[in-house]
Structure 1
Amino acid sequence: MQEYIKADPWSIIEEGFDKELVKSSESIFSIGNGAMGQRANFEERYTGETFQGSYIAGVYYPDKTRVGWWKNGYPEYFAKVLNAPNWIGIEVFINGEPLDLNTCKKVDNFTRELNMQEGWYQRIFTAVLPNDAKVSVKVTRFLSLDLDEVGAINYEVTAESSDAEIKFVPYLDSGITNEDSNWDDKFWNTTSVTSEGHQAFIEAHTMKTHFETCTFMESRLFLNGQVIEQKPTEQLSELRVAHEYMQIAKKGETVALHKLGGYVVSRNHMASALKEASKKALLKGFDLGFKALLDKQKQAWAKIWEMSDITIDGDVKAQQGIRFNIFQLNQTYLGKDSRLNIGPKGFTGEKYGGSTYWDTEAYCIPFYMATKDQNVARSLLKYRYNHLEKAIENAQKLGFSNGAALYPMVTMNGEECHNEWEITFEEIHRNGAIAFAIYNYYRFTGDYSYIPEMGLEVLIGIARFWHQRANFSSLKNKYVILGVTGPNEYENNVNNNWYTNYLAKWCIDFTIEQLQKVDDGYNEDYNRIIGKTKLTDSEVTQWAKVADNMYFPYSEDKGVFLQQDGFLDKQLVTVSELPKTQRPINQKWSWDRILRSPYIKQADVLQGFYFFEDHFSEKELERHFDFYEPFTVHESSLSPCVHSIQAAKLNRMQQAYTFYLRTSRLDLDDYNREVEEGLHITSMAGTWMSIVEGFGGMRVVDDKLSFEPKIPEQWEAYSFKINFRDRILKVTVKKDSTEFLLNGQEDMSIRLKGERVVLEPNKTKVI
Structure 2
Amino acid sequence: MKNYIKADEWNIIEEGFDPHLNKISESIFSLGNGRMGQRANFEETYTGETLLGNYVAGVYYPDKTRVGWWKNGYPEYFAKVLNAANWVGIEVKIDDEILDLATAEVSDFKRVLNMQAGYLERTFSARLKSGKTLKVKSTRFCSIADDEVGAICYSITPLNFEGKLTLMPFIDGDVKNQDSNYDEKFWDKVTDEISGTEAYIKLRTKKTEFEVCTGSNIELYKNGEKLDFNPEAVRKEKFVGQTFSVDVKANEEITLVKIAANLSSENYPKEALLKDTKSVIAKASAKGFDTLLKEQSDAWAAKWEESDIIIEGDVSAQQAIRFNIFQLFQTYTGKDDRLNIGPKGFTGEKYGGSTYWDTEAYCVPFYLATAPQEVSKNLLVYRHKQLGKAIENAEKLGFKHGAALYPMVTMNGEECHNEWEITFEEIHRNGAIAFAIFNYIRYTGDESYLSDFGLEVLIGIARFWKQRVNWSNDKQQYVMLGVTGPNEYENNVNNNWYTNILATWCLKYATEAAEIVKTQQPEKYNHLLKSLNFDQQEFTDWADIIEKMYYPQDEKLGIFLQQDGYLDKEQILVKDLPASERPINQKWSWDRILRSCFIKQADVLQGLYFFEEDYDLDTLKRNFDFYEPRTVHESSLSPCVHSILAAKLNDEARAYEFYLRTARLDLDDYNNDTEDGLHITSMAGTWMSVVEGFAGMRVRDGKLHFNPFLPDKWKSFSFTIGFRGATLKINITENSINIKNNAGVDLEIGVRNQFFNLAGNAEINVNNAALV
Q: TM-score of the superposition, structure 1-length normalised?
A: 0.99
Could you say which residue in structure 1 is the equivalent of 2:413?
A: 414
Q: Is the 8 A contact 2:746 2:760 kept in 1?
A: yes
For 1:60, give the aligned amino acid. Answer: Y
Could you say which residue in structure 1 is the equivalent of 2:495?
A: 496
Please state whether the residue corresponding to 1:766 is helix, strand or coil. Answer: strand
Deviation at 1:354, TM superposition (A): 4.3
Q: Is the 8 A contact 1:354 1:417 kept in 2?
A: no
- For residues 301 and 311 of structure 1, what CA distance do their matches in structure 2 show? 16
1:676-716 Cα deviation digits (max 9, x unpaired):
00001011111110000000000011211000011100000
Could you say which residue in structure 1 is the equivalent of 2:285?
A: 286
Deviation at 1:556, TM superposition (A): 1.1
Show the 5 A alignment for 1:685-764.
685-764=684-763
Could you say which residue in structure 2 is the equivalent of 1:275?
A: 274
Please state whether the residue corresponding to 1:353 is helix, strand or coil. Answer: helix
Q: Is the 8 A contact 1:147 1:281 kept in 2?
A: no
Q: Is the 8 A contact 1:95 1:133 kept in 2?
A: no
Q: Does 1:94 align with 2:94?
A: yes
Q: Does 1:85 align with 2:85?
A: yes
Q: Is the 8 A contact 2:177 2:185 kept in 1?
A: no
Q: Is the 8 A contact 1:381 1:438 kept in 2?
A: yes
Could you say which residue in structure 2 is the equivalent of 1:621?
A: 620
Could you say which residue in structure 1 is the equivalent of 2:770?
A: none
Could you say which residue in structure 2 is the equivalent of 1:564?
A: 563
Q: Is the 8 A contact 2:211 2:264 kept in 1?
A: yes
For 1:732, give the aligned amino acid. Answer: N
For 1:628, give the aligned amino acid. Answer: Y
Please state whether the residue corresponding to 1:485 is helix, strand or coil. Answer: coil
Could you say which residue in structure 2 is the equivalent of 1:117?
A: 116
1:5-60 Cα deviation digits (max 9, x unpaired):
11111011000010100100000000000000000000100000000000000000
Could you say which residue in structure 2 is the equivalent of 1:49?
A: 49
Deviation at 1:764, TM superposition (A): 3.3
Show the 5 A alignment for 1:586-605.
586-605=585-604
Please state whether the residue corresponding to 1:482 is helix, strand or coil. Answer: coil
Could you say which residue in structure 2 is the equivalent of 1:266?
A: 265
Show the 5 A alignment for 1:4-15.
4-15=4-15
Deviation at 1:185, TM superposition (A): 2.4
Q: Is the 8 A contact 1:193 1:202 kept in 2?
A: yes
- For residues 295 and 626 of structure 1, what CA distance do their matches in structure 2 show? 51
Q: Is the 8 A contact 2:725 2:745 kept in 1?
A: no
Q: Is the 8 A contact 1:373 1:726 kept in 2?
A: no
Deviation at 1:176, TM superposition (A): 0.5
Could you say which residue in structure 2 is the equivalent of 1:612?
A: 611
- For residues 395 and 351 of structure 1, what CA distance do their matches in structure 2 show? 26
Q: Does 1:318 align with 2:317?
A: yes
Could you say which residue in structure 1 is the equivalent of 2:386?
A: 387
- For residues 563 and 204 of structure 2, what CA distance do their matches in structure 1 show? 47
Q: Is the 8 A contact 2:123 2:138 kept in 1?
A: yes
Could you say which residue in structure 2 is the equivalent of 1:347?
A: 346
Q: Is the 8 A contact 1:494 1:564 kept in 2?
A: yes
More displaced 10-residue stretch of structure 1: 448-457 or 179-188: 179-188
* Runs (5+) with no aligned partner, structure 2: 767-772
- For residues 632 and 226 of structure 1, what CA distance do their matches in structure 2 show? 61
Could you say which residue in structure 1 is the equivalent of 2:65?
A: 65
Q: Is the 8 A contact 1:221 1:245 kept in 2?
A: no
Please state whether the residue corresponding to 1:700 is helix, strand or coil. Answer: strand
RMSD between aligned residues? 0.9
Q: Does 1:457 align with 2:456?
A: yes
- For residues 301 and 167 of structure 1, what CA distance do their matches in structure 2 show? 35
- For residues 223 and 516 of structure 1, what CA distance do their matches in structure 2 show? 71
1:578-606 Cα deviation digits (max 9, x unpaired):
01111111111111111011111110000
Show the 5 A alignment for 1:461-472.
461-472=460-471
Could you say which residue in structure 2 is the equivalent of 1:433?
A: 432
1:661-684 Cα deviation digits (max 9, x unpaired):
111111111111110000010111
- For residues 33 and 67 of structure 2, what CA distance do their matches in structure 1 show? 35
Deviation at 1:372, TM superposition (A): 0.9
- For residues 266 and 24 of structure 2, what CA distance do their matches in structure 1 show? 32
Could you say which residue in structure 1 is the equivalent of 2:76?
A: 76
Deviation at 1:746, TM superposition (A): 3.6
Deviation at 1:250, TM superposition (A): 1.7
Q: Does 1:653 align with 2:652?
A: yes
Could you say which residue in structure 2 is the equivalent of 1:487?
A: 486
Please state whether the residue corresponding to 1:62 is helix, strand or coil. Answer: strand
Q: Is the 8 A contact 2:483 2:493 kept in 1?
A: yes
User: Kindly tell me: are residues 758 and 478 of structure 1, through their superposed partners in 2, closer, same or farther at Cα, counting changes over 3 Å?
Assistant: same
Could you say which residue in structure 2 is the equivalent of 1:18?
A: 18
Q: Is the 8 A contact 2:345 2:353 kept in 1?
A: no
Could you say which residue in structure 2 is the equivalent of 1:423?
A: 422
Fraction of identical pairs, as percent: 59
- Aligned pair count reads 766
For 2:67, give the aligned amino acid. Answer: V
Please state whether the residue corresponding to 1:530 is helix, strand or coil. Answer: helix
- For residues 321 and 390 of structure 1, what CA distance do their matches in structure 2 show? 38
Q: Is the 8 A contact 2:217 2:258 kept in 1?
A: yes
- For residues 422 and 458 of structure 2, what CA distance do their matches in structure 1 show? 22
Show the 5 A alignment for 1:101-180.
101-104=101-104, 106-180=105-179
- For residues 549 and 613 of structure 2, what CA distance do their matches in structure 1 show? 20
Please state whether the residue corresponding to 2:339 is helix, strand or coil. Answer: coil
Q: Does 1:235 align with 2:234?
A: yes
- For residues 718 and 186 of structure 1, what CA distance do their matches in structure 2 show? 49
Deviation at 1:238, TM superposition (A): 2.4
Deviation at 1:72, TM superposition (A): 1.0
Show the 5 A alignment for 1:393-404.
393-404=392-403
Deviation at 1:355, TM superposition (A): 2.4
For 1:40, give the aligned amino acid. Answer: A
- For residues 762 and 34 of structure 2, what CA distance do their matches in structure 1 show? 36
Q: Is the 8 A contact 2:176 2:184 kept in 1?
A: no
1:158-197 Cα deviation digits (max 9, x unpaired):
1111223222100111110100011122311112232111
More displaced 10-residue stretch of structure 1: 560-569 or 538-547: 538-547
Please state whether the residue corresponding to 2:351 is helix, strand or coil. Answer: coil
Please state whether the residue corresponding to 1:352 is helix, strand or coil. Answer: helix
For 1:257, give the aligned amino acid. Answer: L
- For residues 268 and 688 of structure 2, what CA distance do their matches in structure 1 show? 37
- For residues 504 and 236 of structure 1, what CA distance do their matches in structure 2 show? 58
- For residues 460 and 361 of structure 2, what CA distance do their matches in structure 1 show? 19
Q: Is the 8 A contact 1:12 1:114 kept in 2?
A: yes
- For residues 747 and 416 of structure 1, what CA distance do their matches in structure 2 show? 45
Could you say which residue in structure 1 is the equivalent of 2:528?
A: 529
For 1:495, give the aligned amino acid. Answer: N
Please state whether the residue corresponding to 1:300 is helix, strand or coil. Answer: helix
